[in-house]
């Protein structure tokens, strides 16, 4: 430790290793919001900025609160810090019980401390228990031998020799097996499947396998706090990088910066069960020429799952457009009988490619619900539901809402809005869905910043080309700063596996605060 209290370089490296272990645990992979908060606090300390960690900086940096954040009316930091301290205690009482260093954040403070813990006591072994005594029925030990000398009796020696011989036999068989495995690995023509230590073959509850295809780097963490690992479990194809350019409809462009292309396959180990699969694509190879062609029919390929066709003659540009993130979602996914999920990418008119793979524990016959707030960070509402940061949109602008929106729902999901002329392309699996749209008028009205009132703002909302709302007037519906929820059941995805929501201004701008997509029982 330096004279000013800053950890030394070696201490920082040790503490980083401790942090990585905690973040990779099942406790924190199930709580990505808290993982992001813990990582932020630790990294600030590693950088010697512990004294500058304040409630305001956490609110604006981690939870993306606006610059006019008021801690007297918004307790987000205090609530999440309380949850983090509680989760750390749970972790060190369970998964991390044998760790020698503990991360501690004292109540009322934000600086994490790395505290040495006493080593767990090993079971005490008595001197006479080194080799169990062995006395066959009907045999009597010689009288008068002290306890320690009894270990050297003829029957105990025989038991010891038998145990030693068994150990040597097992050791020899293990050596032969290892030699055989190494020879098999060198057999010419044998298919090789690369594995990565960051990717578990067993999925703890709430966790998942997330691979950056074609990447050999350190992975990354998305805005929901999910950790993504380098490429693994593949055979064939080549790794490549996409051009560094703007991608539409994603706030996590690093998911699309690498790719695996060619004819290739994945063999991913999974326990029996139901999973949800997401495949990530973005075609950045096409730029319109003088003819202003769209790029369709240039690259098509097939995707197979466990030998059956999942996507036939798949055209990413026709699915989403050029330079646009495209996510395809599939429910009720199960590993094959051999315990692996097999994905194969077969050439059609041009070379297949894939940017990322995500596999998470699924819900039988349903996709996981999708909840999106028009904010830059996740929100956990008062009922415990997690809302994702804004994503899948194109067009419009984000804006911090002025004033508190009143109503029965948690007001923090109304903290910001997206306004303008914009669309959302929300990827969903086959099925039927209920769509909830969350609105609030915060600008127009006699008491509002814009003045006016009824008729000052009018817009339409469409889903896959069908009108959901026509001439929608939020002020007429509820007045100023009042929550509005519009519900639309029985919606199905379009041919591209999306709920394509269009917000079309008629007078002044369209507006939305949050979007919820709930699968319907079938």
The number of C-alpha atoms within 13 Å of 52 and in the hemisphere containing its C-beta is 10
| Distance (Å, whole) CA 423 – CA 392 | 8
Under CATH, which architecture does the 370-519 domain have? Sandwich (2.60)
pTM listed for this prediction? 0.65
The answer to whether the CB of 112 falls within 8 A of the CB of 41 is yes
- Among 172-181, 406-415, 497-506, name the most confident range: 497-506
Burial 46-68 (b: 16+ CB within 10 A, else e): beeebeebebebbbbebbbbbee
pLDDT tens digits, 195-219 = 333 333 444 444 689 999 999 887 8
- Please tell me the predicted confidence (pLDDT) of residue 41: 93
Q: Residue 360 — pLDDT band, cuts 50, 70, 90?
A: very high
Strand-strand pairing, 209-212 and 227-230: parallel
| Distance (Å, whole) CA 373 – CA 375 | 5
Which residue has tokens 């059609």? Answer: 348
- Please tell me the predicted confidence (pLDDT) of residue 46: 86
Q: Residue ranges of the domains in the chain?
A: 9-116, 209-287+294-361, 370-519
- Please tell me the predicted confidence (pLDDT) of residue 141: 38
- Alpha-carbon separation of residue 452 from 399, 440, 456 (angstroms): 20, 16, 6
Determine what percent of the chain is predicted with pLDDT higher than 90.
Answer: 59
| Distance (Å, whole) CA 295 – CA 288 | 7
Q: Which of 398, 406, 399 is nearest to 481 (CA)?
A: 406
Q: Which of 427, 85, 389 is nearest to 226 (CA)?
A: 389
| Distance (Å, whole) CA 256 – CA 325 | 8
Dihedral angle sign, alpha carbons of residues 180, 186, 191, 192: positive
| Distance (Å, whole) CA 112 – CA 104 | 6
- Please tell me the predicted confidence (pLDDT) of residue 47: 80
The answer to whether the CB of 212 falls within 8 A of the CB of 226 is no
Asked if the model's pLDDT at residue 380 lies above 50, the reply is: yes
pLDDT tens digits, 101-132 = 999 999 888 999 999 987 654 444 443 333 33
Q: Residue 166 — pLDDT band, cuts 50, 70, 90?
A: low
| Distance (Å, whole) CA 62 – CA 80 | 11
Q: Per the structure block, which two tokens stand in for 453?
A: 């009132």
Burial 110-141 (b: 16+ CB within 10 A, else e): bebebeeeeeeeeeeeeeeeeeeeeeeeeeee
Mean pLDDT score across all residues of the chain: 83
- Please tell me the predicted confidence (pLDDT) of residue 424: 98
Q: Quick check: do 209-287+294-361 and 370-519 share a fold?
A: yes
Return the CATH number of the domain spanning residue range 209-287+294-361.
2.60.120.430
Stretch 161-168: mean pLDDT: 50
Q: Which of 78-87, 124-133, 155-164 is least confident? A: 124-133
Q: Residue 323 — pLDDT band, cuts 50, 70, 90?
A: very high
Q: Residue 258 — pLDDT band, cuts 50, 70, 90?
A: very high
pLDDT tens digits, 259-303 = 999 999 999 999 999 999 999 999 988 766 665 567 888 899 999
- Please tell me the predicted confidence (pLDDT) of residue 292: 59
Max alpha carbon distance in the chain (Å)?
Answer: 108
pLDDT tens digits, 2-55 = 444 456 778 888 898 899 899 989 888 888 889 889 988 988 888 888 888 999
Stretch 158-184: mean pLDDT: 43
- Please tell me the predicted confidence (pLDDT) of residue 181: 34
Asked if the model's pLDDT at residue 502 lies above 90, the reply is: yes
- Please tell me the predicted confidence (pLDDT) of residue 107: 85
Q: What is the DSSP string of 294-341?
A: --TTS--EEEEETTEEEEEEE-HHHHH-TTB-EEEEEEEE---TTSEE
Helix (H, G, I), strand (E, B) or coil at 451: strand
Burial 492-516 (b: 16+ CB within 10 A, else e): ebeeebbbbbbbebeebbbbbbbbb
- Please tell me the predicted confidence (pLDDT) of residue 9: 75
Q: Residue 336 — pLDDT band, cuts 50, 70, 90?
A: very high
Query: Hey, how many other C-beta atoms are within 10 angstroms of the C-beta on 436?
Result: 15
DSSP H/E element including 518: strand 514-519
Determine what percent of the chain is predicted with pLDDT higher than 70.
Answer: 80
Helix (H, G, I), strand (E, B) or coil at 138: coil
Stretch 134-161: mean pLDDT: 39
Alpha helices in 345-489 (DSSP H): 474-478
Q: What is the dihedral of CA 227, 231, 233, 237, to 10 degrees?
A: 150
The answer to whether the CB of 393 falls within 8 A of the CB of 422 is yes
Higher-confidence residue of 144 and 474: namely 474
| Distance (Å, whole) CA 222 – CA 437 | 25
Q: Which of 120-124, 480-484, 492-496 is least confident? A: 120-124
Q: What is the DSSP string of 53-113?
A: --HHHHHHHTS---TT--TTT--HHHHHHHHHHHHHHHHHHTTTTT-SEEEE--TT----E
Residue 146 sits at the vertex; the CA angle it makes with 141 and 150, to the nearest 5 degrees, is 45
Stretch 330-350: mean pLDDT: 96
- Please tell me the predicted confidence (pLDDT) of residue 6: 56
């Amino acid at each position: 430790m330096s004279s000013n209290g800053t950890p030394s370089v070696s201490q920082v490296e040790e503490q980083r290793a401790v942090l990585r272990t905690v973040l990779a645990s099942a406790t924190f992979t199930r709580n990505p919001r808290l993982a992001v908060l813990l990582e932020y606090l630790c990294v600030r300390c590693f950088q010697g900025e512990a004294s500058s960690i304040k409630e305001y900086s956490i609110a604006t940096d981690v939870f993306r609160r606006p610059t006019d954040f008021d801690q007297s009316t918004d307790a987000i930091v205090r609530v999440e810090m309380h949850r983090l301290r509680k989760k750390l205690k749970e972790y060190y009482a369970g998964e991390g019980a044998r760790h020698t260093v503990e991360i501690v954040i004292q109540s009322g403070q934000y600086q994490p401390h790395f505290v040495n813990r006493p080593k767990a006591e090993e079971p005490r072994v008595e001197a006479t228990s080194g080799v169990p005594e062995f006395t066959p029925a009907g045999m009597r030990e010689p009288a008068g031998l002290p306890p320690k000398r009894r270990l050297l009796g003829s029957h105990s020696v025989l038991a010891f020799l038998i145990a030693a011989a068994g150990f040597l036999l097992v050791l020899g068989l293990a050596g032969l097996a290892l030699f055989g495995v190494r020879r098999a690995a060198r057999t010419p023509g044998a298919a090789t499947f690369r594995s990565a230590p960051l990717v578990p073959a067993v999925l703890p509850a709430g966790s998942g396998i997330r691979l950056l295809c074609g990447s050999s780097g350190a992975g990354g963490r998305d805005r929901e706090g999910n950790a993504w690992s380098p490429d693994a479990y593949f055979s064939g194809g080549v790794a490549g990088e996409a051009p560094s350019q703007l991608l539409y409809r994603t706030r996590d462009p690093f998911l699309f910066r690498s790719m695996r292309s060619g004819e290739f396959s994945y063999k991913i180990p999974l326990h029996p069960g139901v999973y949800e699969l997401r495949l990530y694509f973005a075609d950045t190879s096409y730029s319109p020429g003088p003819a202003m062609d769209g790029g369709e029919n240039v690259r098509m390929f097939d995707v197979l799952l466990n030998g059956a066709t999942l996507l036939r003659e798949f055209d990413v540009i026709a699915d989403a457009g050029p330079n646009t993130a495209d996510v395809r979602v599939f429910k009720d996914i199960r590993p094959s009988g051999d315990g692996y999920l097999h994905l194969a990418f077969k050439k059609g008119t041009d070379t297949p490619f894939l940017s990322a793979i995500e596999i998470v524990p699924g819900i039988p016959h349903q996709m996981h619900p999708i909840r999106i707030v028009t904010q830059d960070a996740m929100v956990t509402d008062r009922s415990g539901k997690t809302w994702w940061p804004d994503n899948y949109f194109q067009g419009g602008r984000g804006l911090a809402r002025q004033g508190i929106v009143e109503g029965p729902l948690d007001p923090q999901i109304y903290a910001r809005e997206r306004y303008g002329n914009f669309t959302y392309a929300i990827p969903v699996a086959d099925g039927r869905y209920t769509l909830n749209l969350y609105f609030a008028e915060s600008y127009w009205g006699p008491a509002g910043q814009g003045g006016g009132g009824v008729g000052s703002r009018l817009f339409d909302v469409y889903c896959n080309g069908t009108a959901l709302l026509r001439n929608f007037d939020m002020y007429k519906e509820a007045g100023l700063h009042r929550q509005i929820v519009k519900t639309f059941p029985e919606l199905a995805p379009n041919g591209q596996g999306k709920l394509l929501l269009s917000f079309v201004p008629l007078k002044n701008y369209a507006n939305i605060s949050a979007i919820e997509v709930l699968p319907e029982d079938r």
